[in-house]
Amino acid sequence: MGVEKEVVEHKQETCQEWTLSVHAFSDLTNVSPTVFLYLMKACYTSGTFKATTKFRALQHRVHQILHNSPQPGPAAFVIHCLYALPTFGIYSEGFSHLLLSALRRFLKSNIADSLEAKDLAAQLFLDIVGGFIDHDEKVALKVIEVFDVGQINLENVLCRGKGKSGLRYDSAITMLQEYIFKSIESQSFMTAVSLLEHFSIRHSGQSFLLSMLENNHFMAAEKFAKFMGKPMLCILVQEYVHRKKLKNAYQIIKQNNLQGEFSDVYHLCKESSLKKLAEKGCWDVAELKAKGNKRLIEYLVYLAMEAGYSEKVDELCDRFSLQGFPKVTESDAGLVHDRRYLNLTELAIEGIIWVDDIEGLQSATCHIEGSKVIGIDCEWKPNYEKGSKPNKVSIMQISSDRSVFIVDLLRLSVDVPDILDNCLKRILRSPRILKLGYNFQCDMKQLASSYRALECFKHCDMLLDIQCVFREPSGGLSGLAQKILGAGLNKTRRNSNWEQRPLSQNQLEYAALDAAVLVHIFSHVRDQSQPAAESNERLEWKSHIISHGDITKRSKRDSGTNKKRTSGAVED
């Protein structure tokens, strides 16, 4: 039945294609607009394509058809079709836009009869405005734009007495203004602004602008202000600032060279942008955005001081020769905005071991294989170029209950790839070691992509994703640590340069904490005897263990399915 259905659909589509082709490549000299519209309707309603697909295909065909001598010319032919379309009911609006779009494309390379048709288009527009032809305002506006109808064309129509209203030119402008006012009353602001701009009609101004802003029609407001000129643009900037839309104000200032008029606002907007980047940990991007401006760089230094990012403070002060900034002490770095962050001493971590040679790797592997539970995380240098590939994973952190090993993947993958592959395979695929991660499936995919020649990152055994156990709605690992251990993690160094060697002490501590905190959170889960908060059930974790799993093919959603429990691996 499936094959038969496919054959039938193919025949229907072929029939539709044939019908379209007949009209696309035949002589339309003797085809009237009404007949043509009925043929368009037949083409559109046949076949099994989706409506949008059929619409685009038909639009392309109509563009081809306009080359086949429709009379009295392609542009005039489309206008006559638009006069007839209201009788086609539900197809009227869609077909109107289809014809006008096809004609717009046609006129880019074929002037044809478009100059003579301008007066016909002006007549059609006036008939729509006057209510003689039932088209909506979007079609009316598109007629004006596609045919580039000007005031002179309106004057030609009315002076020759061809307008159905019989009005003189000044009365036509009055009619046009009334039509614009009706568009404003119905909150069709973009249509109103487009007509004001097209016919160079200067509306009273500020009250209209405020009305658009109050109704959140920001694109129309900006187009209107640009049309009205610098004074209105300045009012728009002031209104954006008053409404705390600094991003919108910044864009208007930048696009229209208003930095001189709004220097304070411009810097305020830049500072707001830098603050948002700093809050996301995108310090390098923030520095690039500052473009060496001393005032903005100093603001960035203050942000780094508030975040406790001491090495960034020193780095910026040295690079830009800034004086007078106090040194950030270790106690300041641990207490930001009256919020305390975890440190390695609290987690009883005795040492951070940097692993970048064979001896260190083998020693670390032996130590880790003696552990029942380990925490794993990894870091890589962020890539801020849009559309470019992510950088290679730089380091992998593996924590036992007392020590954290930081494996230099960049160096070991070049120096001793086979030994690195073997050692990490022994750890990641061991059924006796419970591996703890936080959304570690994503990290595994990044690892596998970074080191395609290594087999160790293609599978993982006995992995427990802490995120799946708690399903923390916000705050990530830091928020979870705050909830379980009473203090979060300082994430200011998350997006630092993880490819630099040597890593700073602060980077090493940051990386170590991300892995070590997983072991302590798990200990809390395993040892707790009270029901979970806001629930009468204990937290379950064994059911979330992934065993013998191909992590690179698993999604976060199904990470809790098809589990296999290994008895005796971890004590209750």
Tokens of 505: 């002490």
Residue 18 has pLDDT above 50, yes or no: no
Provide the 3-class DSSP secondary structure of residue 520.
Answer: helix
Nearest residue to 378 (alpha-carbon basis) of 413, 343, 336: 413
> What pLDDT does residue 314 have?
84
Tokens of 240: 């954006």
Q: Which residue did the predictor score with more confidence, 109 or 100? A: 100
Q: Are residues 280 and 174 in the same domain?
A: no
Q: Are residues 334 and 365 in the same domain?
A: no
> What pLDDT does residue 474 have?
63
Residue 462 has pLDDT above 50, yes or no: yes
> What pLDDT does residue 391 have?
92
Residues 543 and 556: their CA atoms lie apart, in Å, by 15
**Which residues neighbour 144 within 8 Å (Cβ) at sequence distance 6 or greater?**
121, 125, 195, 198
Helix (H) or strand (E) holding 380: strand 373-380
Q: What percent of the chain has pLDDT over 70?
A: 82
Residue 502 has pLDDT above 70, yes or no: yes
State the CB neighbour count (10 A cutoff) for residue 558.
Answer: 10
Could you tell me which residues are beta bridge partners of residue 70?
Answer: none
In a domain, 253, yes or no: no
Q: Which residue did the predictor score with more confidence, 39 or 566? A: 39
In a domain, 231, yes or no: no
Residue 339 has pLDDT above 80, yes or no: no
Q: Which of 156-165, 181-190, 446-455 has the lowest mean pLDDT?
A: 156-165
Could you tell me which residues are beta bridge partners of residue 336?
Answer: 339
The pLDDT confidence band at residue 553, using thresholds 50, 70 and 90, is low
- pTM above threshold 0.75: no
Residue 151 has pLDDT above 90, yes or no: no
- Of 189-203, 340-354, 360-374, the range with the highest mean pLDDT is 360-374
- Of 33-42, 131-140, 403-412, 470-479, the range with the highest mean pLDDT is 403-412
| Residue where a domain stops, chosen among 320, 340, 360 | 340
Q: Are residues 439 and 534 in the same domain?
A: yes
| 3-class secondary structure per residue, 333-348 | HHEECCEEECCCCCCC
Q: Are residues 320 and 443 in the same domain?
A: no
The pLDDT confidence band at residue 329, using thresholds 50, 70 and 90, is low
Sign of the Cα pseudo-torsion (477, 481, 482, 488, in order): negative
Could you tell me which residues are beta bridge partners of residue 403?
Answer: 351
Q: Are residues 77 and 183 in the same domain?
A: yes
Provide the 3-class DSSP secondary structure of residue 464.
Answer: strand
The pLDDT confidence band at residue 400, using thresholds 50, 70 and 90, is very high
Q: Are residues 166 and 299 in the same domain?
A: no
Q: Are residues 383 and 517 in the same domain?
A: yes
> What pLDDT does residue 165 have?
46
Residues 62 and 32: their CA atoms lie apart, in Å, by 15
In a domain, 409, yes or no: yes
Range of the domain at 27: 2-202
In a domain, 418, yes or no: yes
DSSP classification of residue 69: -
In a domain, 563, yes or no: no
Residues 274 and 269: their CA atoms lie apart, in Å, by 9
State the CB neighbour count (10 A cutoff) for residue 54.
Answer: 18
| Residue where a domain stops, chosen among 281, 306, 340 | 340
Q: Are residues 11 and 98 in the same domain?
A: yes
The CB-side HSE value for 405 (13 A sphere, CA atoms) comes to 21
Q: Are residues 335 and 356 in the same domain?
A: no
Q: Which residue did the predictor score with more confidence, 236 or 384? A: 236
386: left (phi over 0), alpha (psi -120 to 50) or beta: beta
Q: Which residue did the predictor score with more confidence, 329 or 431? A: 431
Length of the chain: 572
CATH code of the domain containing 535 = 3.30.420.10
- Of 67-71, 259-263, 522-526, the range with the highest mean pLDDT is 259-263
> What pLDDT does residue 395 have?
97
| Residue where a domain stops, chosen among 310, 340, 370 | 340
> What pLDDT does residue 328 have?
55
Q: Are residues 386 and 513 in the same domain?
A: yes
Q: Are residues 269 and 187 in the same domain?
A: no
What does the mean pLDDT of the chain come to?
A: 82
In a domain, 223, yes or no: no
Tokens of 100: 């006008």
Residues 211 and 193: their CA atoms lie apart, in Å, by 12
In a domain, 571, yes or no: no
Q: Are residues 267 and 163 in the same domain?
A: no
> What pLDDT does residue 488 have?
85
Count the domains in the chain.
3
Q: Which residue did the predictor score with more confidence, 291 or 20? A: 291
Mean per-residue pLDDT, 488-495 = 82
Q: Which of 75-84, 300-309, 384-393 has the lowest mean pLDDT?
A: 384-393
In a domain, 245, yes or no: no
